[in-house]
């Protein structure tokens, strides 16, 4: 099985998680001597972004989450900032000093983690099933993520081959 889809829009990285106390009636909820907490993502826009990814995957795949190992390819595309181009009559010309690749934040792994988690219970049962990653971040016309998921034949892998 090989599945490819694209999600357009500004990507949201899956940053760190933090624990937040649970409050009821203005007071922290306690269990014995401990304050109960919940885990929250640092980025408030992340749930909506993951939902967009999951929606695109469901549009491309209409089945149940699959068992087995997977290869995940994530190609991140970001538009160049205006500062990479000249001004006036050179507005469409790339400056010689413009970087070849988008090396600024957000980092590639955090963007890929958002994709992995968005596809949990959509394409796979758990993102631990991903055994091979190919990740890239490049310049393009608009924000997009191109995702390819491929099931891996276990027999070739068990024999030590590809």
Q: In Å, how far are 15, 21, 103, 107, 145 from 18, measured between CA atoms? A: 10, 10, 26, 19, 26
- Tell me the C-alpha distance between 69 and 144, whole Å: 26
Please tell me the predicted confidence (pLDDT) of residue 160.
Answer: 52
Q: Which pTM value belongs to this model? A: 0.81
Instruction: Please give the share of the chain, as a percent, with pLDDT higher than 70.
Output: 93
**pLDDT tens digits, residue range 7-16?**
999 999 987 6
Q: What are residue 79's DSSP bridge partners?
A: 140
- pLDDT band, very low/low/confident/very high, at 156 (cuts 50, 70, 90): very low
Pairwise pLDDT comparison (156 vs 117), residue with the higher score: 117
Would the CA dihedral through 150, 55, 74, 45 be positive or negative? negative
Report the chain's mean pLDDT, rounded to a whole number: 91
Q: Which of 76, 65, 102, 64 lies closest to 7, judged by CA?
A: 76
| CA gap 136, 101 in Å, rounded | 10
Class for the domain spanning 2-158: alpha beta
Domain ranges of the chain: 2-158
CA 38 vs CA 44, 51, 83, 125: distances in Å: 15, 21, 41, 23
């Amino acid at each position: 099985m090989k599945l490819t889809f694209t999600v357009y829009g500004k990507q949201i990285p899956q940053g760190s998680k933090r624990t937040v106390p649970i409050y009821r009636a203005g007071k922290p909820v306690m269990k014995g001597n401990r304050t109960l907490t919940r885990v929250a993502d640092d980025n408030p826009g992340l749930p909506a972004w993951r939902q967009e990814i999951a929606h695109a995957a469901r549009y491309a795949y209409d089945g149940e989450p699959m068992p087995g190992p997977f290869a995940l390819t994530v190609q991140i595309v970001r538009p160049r900032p205006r500062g990479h181009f000249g001004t006036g009559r050179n507005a469409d010309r790339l400056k010689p000093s413009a970087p070849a690749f988008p090396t600024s934040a957000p980092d590639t792994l955090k963007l890929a983690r958002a994709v992995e988690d968005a596809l949990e219970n959509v394409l796979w049962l758990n993102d631990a099933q991903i055994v091979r990653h190919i990740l890239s971040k490049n310049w393009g016309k608009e924000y997009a993520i191109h995702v390819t998921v491929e099931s891996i034949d276990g027999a070739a892998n068990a024999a030590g081959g590809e």
